[in-house]
Amino acid sequence: MSRTDQCVLSVIAPCYNEAVNIDLLVRRTLAAFDAMTIDGQLILVDDGSVDETWAAISAAADEDRRVWGVRHERNRGIVPAWQSGLDAARGRLVCLIDSDLQNRPEDIARLHRVYELGGADVVQGARRPVCTVHRHRVFTRGLNALLNLAFRTRLRDNKSGFLLCRRDTLSAILRHRLAYRYFQAFVGVAATARGFVIKEVDTVFEPRRAGQSFLSRFPIRTSLRIVWELIKFRAETWLDARGRVGRRSVLLSSPASLADAL
């Protein structure tokens, strides 16, 4: 029997220069698996780190069969890291989590419990910051309002990357045709645009333990880039919807065209 034959849940944590956090992240996540009494898998994706992150991941993987390491030779970004983790996932369910411990590994159990109650395809942690810089709070609320307006959603935290769902559901959410730098900001609306039902759960968002956020300065450039990518993603989802309607029309009007439509 392989070490993940009975795996229920795969937790995916992208890591970039997170060597100081790996040991505590591993210990708290494995403790969460034990408390949940499930066979879990923790996938740590080293996204081109230049510190000792990979050495820390390798040591953790050698020590416990539930820890898996995936390595990018160069920094590719959080969404490709999610995808690499998804490719390595063996669980029926997957959970995305930050490696800097701003998301609490103990809250994985809360997301899993809500998912098992049914009624949702995706359970997303709505972040409640312990403390935050005012400009970051303004940026986050403004972007969330813009996303809700553009996609007619009512999510409290669209861009939260702390979520749990089926493995095939996450694969569908991450699928996109155009190039994006900040696709992680659209994860909530991407799920909604693809027809998935989201249930939000309040989770504590703790201060960053180490490293530096890409929003450390007033995010004017980042804001403009995200707005532009929002327009692109809105256009992509609109074209996808038109394409689905067009394919259905072909099938309904001419059954003989089934092979051509497929």
Identify the CATH number of the domain in which residue 130 sits. Answer: 3.90.550.10
Q: Look at residue 262 and tell me if it is in a domain.
A: no
pLDDT tens-digit series, residues 8-44: 999 999 999 999 999 999 999 999 999 999 999 999 9
Q: Look at residue 258 and tell me if it is in a domain.
A: no
* Mean pLDDT in residue range 86-94: 97
d(CA 145, CA 140): 9
Do residues 122 and 200 lie in contact, with contact meaning Cβ atoms separated by under 8 Å?
Answer: no
Q: Look at residue 4 and tell me if it is in a domain.
A: no
228 confidence band (pLDDT: 50, 70, 90): confident
**Domain, as residue range, for 85:** 9-252
Q: Look at residue 259 and tell me if it is in a domain.
A: no
Percentage of the chain with pLDDT > 70? 74
Q: Give the closest residue to 12 by CA, choosing from 49, 59, 44.
A: 44
pLDDT tens-digit series, residues 182-224: 888 888 888 988 999 999 999 998 877 665 454 444 456 777 7
Residue 133 vs residue 161, higher pLDDT:
161
* Mean pLDDT in residue range 125-136: 61
pLDDT score at 198: 93
Phi, psi of 102 (to 5 degrees): -70, -40
Q: Write the single-letter amino acid at 220.
A: I
Q: Look at residue 223 and tell me if it is in a domain.
A: yes
Q: Look at residue 3 and tell me if it is in a domain.
A: no
Q: How many domains does the chain have?
A: 1
Q: Look at residue 260 and tell me if it is in a domain.
A: no
- The encoded tokens of residue 234 equal 């809105």
Q: Look at residue 208 and tell me if it is in a domain.
A: yes
